[in-house]
Structure 1
Amino acid sequence: MSFLLYTVTEVIKGVPKTLAISIVAMVVGLAIGTLFAIIRVKRIPVLSQLIVIYNSFFRSTPLIVQLFLVYYGLPALILTLNSKLHLSINPDLFPPLVIAFIVFSFHAVAYLSEAIKGGLQSVDDAQIEAAQTVGLSKFNIYRRIVLPQAFGYALPNIENQYIMLLKGTSLAFAIQVTEIMAISHVIANEGYRFVAVYSVAAIFYWLLAAIFEFIFNKLEHKTTKHLQPTS
């Protein structure tokens, strides 16, 4: 019992970083992903094609490979720039947690832009035409009519993506971020109680996922009752 209590009190110390990575990635992903989705829907030349390539890369390559590429590649790139341009940038400028923020955000953008694009395409064009006839600007049409409904339609996919991000943070221990999985890994190796320790970690992920599923379900209940059913 004492070992179990020790494990719980230690593993809980990794919860803030686990939440920080997933929440930062979700916020950045929603912001940039919304912009990317609008560009895709508007079919803006060149930019739209570049976004397709971006999304394809980050959706088709393993997250841990992306983490390693940035974790090992960024210092190498800085050293190269220092050599070629006679700079003096510290290659350790980006600590592991910052790299996790960057990679998980890039990863989230690719998935969330597709989810929001689907939401945008679900908004009835007749509403946009009606708003134009009463003189609303394009900015206000998107701000007041299109985006609120698009997020409502996309909310189930956004929820799934956040849960995936939350679980995916367990890979951050591979680049020395001391989140839930990293702390569990250390305790398990020290005490050789692998099943017990990883069971505690699994319960923490389960509880966090359940909490956010509850929050998203409440949001979905509030938003969907104002949406028109899609055909």
Structure 2
Amino acid sequence: MANFSLAFAIEKFPEVLKGVPLTLLVAVISMVLGTVIGLIIALCRIYKVPVLNKLGALYVSFVRGTPLLVQIYVVFYGTPLLIDILNKEWGWHLPFSEISPLGFALLAFTINSAAYQSEVIRGAIGTTDSGQMEAALSIGMSTSQGLLRIIAPQALVVALPNLGNIFINLIKGTSLAFAIKVIEIMAQAKIVAGDGYQYLEMYLDASLIYWVICWSCERLFAWLETRYSRHERRIAA
């Protein structure tokens, strides 16, 4: 068994850093798309939209009740099969062969993120006083205007801490994307480690990088929460 080599860990640290852009790309895009989808699901459940309300609840239950790695594999192996069925049965011409591992990863992480964000958004909207929406409607605002101008700013302050946790979990969760050949931080560490069979050193490098990224995100969301909380207090005053 090879001894631990600090020199190797330091020398190869820049190589592991090469996986950071892809890690952040997957996390950020999945978070943004997940926010949009999660908002739609949350509104469907809040306003009890027929059929969509039940489907949304089932979707959230399934995603929250299954491991992320399983979801990645289901998307990776199931999407081509679904597209093939649609092409044969419906006469569509969807080119699943052109989907890259990154595309599958983005899809899987977006699906996962949307489920969790929908619950956060639904809970945050639920904490606002329902009388505010009634007041908005009484002065001629539409429901969408009331949500956007009155409810959303308040709900955002409540949701930010949980949204921050979801984003941090997404960053850590991207370490599973190497299972479908996406070269993010963890995959890059494994590749570099294979050169000298110094796996512990590379895993420590990867751990340090994940820690710095997640700590930075914690600071960012804490700053955003403080800023928006002050903004809301000024408006209330």
* TM-score, normalized by the shorter chain, greater than 0.5: yes
1:160 aligned onto 2:165: yes
Query: 2:62 maps to which residue?
Result: 57
**2:18 aligns to what SS in structure 1?**
helix
Q: Is the contact between residue 11 and residue 180 of structure 1 (CA under 8 Å) also seen in structure 2?
A: yes
**TM-score, structure 2 as length reference:** 0.89
**Which range moved further: 191-200 or 18-27?**
191-200
The alignment status of 1:31 with 2:29, answered yes or no, reads no
5+ residue gaps, structure 2: 1-5
- In structure 1, C-alpha distance between the alignment counterparts of 2:155 and 2:233, rounded to whole Å: 9
**1:219 equivalenced with 2:228 (yes/no):** no
Q: Greater shift after overlay, 168-177 or 148-157?
A: 148-157
2:204 aligns with one of 195, 199, 207: 199
Matches within 5 A, 1:97-108: 97-108=102-113
Matched residues in 2 for 1:143 and 1:91: separation?
37
> Which deviates further from its counterpart, 47-56 or 128-137?
128-137
Cα deviation, residue 89, structure 1: 5.0
1:132 deviates by 2.2
Judged with a 3 Å threshold, the aligned counterparts in structure 2 of structure 1 residues 155 and 178 are, in CA distance, closer, same or farther, namely: same
Equivalent position to 2:21, from 16, 20, 27? 16
Pairwise CA distance, 1:45: 1.9
1:172 aligns with 2:182: no
- Alignment of 1:185 onto 2:177: no
C-alpha change, 1:201 and 1:139, in structure 2 (3 Å) is same
- CA drift of 1:14 comes to 0.5
The count of residues paired between Structure 1 and Structure 2 equals 228
| Cα gap change, 1:89 to 1:136, in 2 (>3 Å) | closer
User: After the TM superposition, which of the residue ranges 199-208 and 81-90 deviates more from structure 2?
Assistant: 81-90
Q: Is the 8 A contact 2:133 2:143 kept in 1?
A: no
What amino acid is the match of 1:136? M
1:76: how far off?
Answer: 3.1
Deviation of the 1:204 alpha carbon: 0.4
- 3-state DSSP class of the match of 1:115? helix
Matches within 5 A, 1:38-187: 38-82=43-87, 90-187=95-192
- Over aligned residue pairs, what C-alpha RMSD do you find? 1.9
The equivalent position to 1:210 in structure 2, one of 206, 209, 215, is 215
2: distance between equivalents of 1:91 and 1:156?
37
Q: Which runs of 5+ in 1 are unaligned?
A: none
Instruction: Tell me the TM-score normalized by structure 1.
Output: 0.92
Give the share of equivalent positions with the same residue, in percent: 40
CA gap of 1:220–1:88, structure 2 versus 1, over 3 A, is closer
Output one character per residue of 1:142-184: Cα deviation in whole Å (capped at 9) or x when no partner. 1100112112111111111111101000000000000000011
Contact 1:149-1:227 within 8 A present in 2 as well? no
Q: 1:67–1:103: 8 Å Cα contact kept in structure 2?
A: yes
Secondary structure in 1 matching 2:182: coil
CA-CA distance at 1:90 after TM superposition:
4.2
Judged with a 3 Å threshold, the aligned counterparts in structure 2 of structure 1 residues 88 and 53 are, in CA distance, closer, same or farther, namely closer
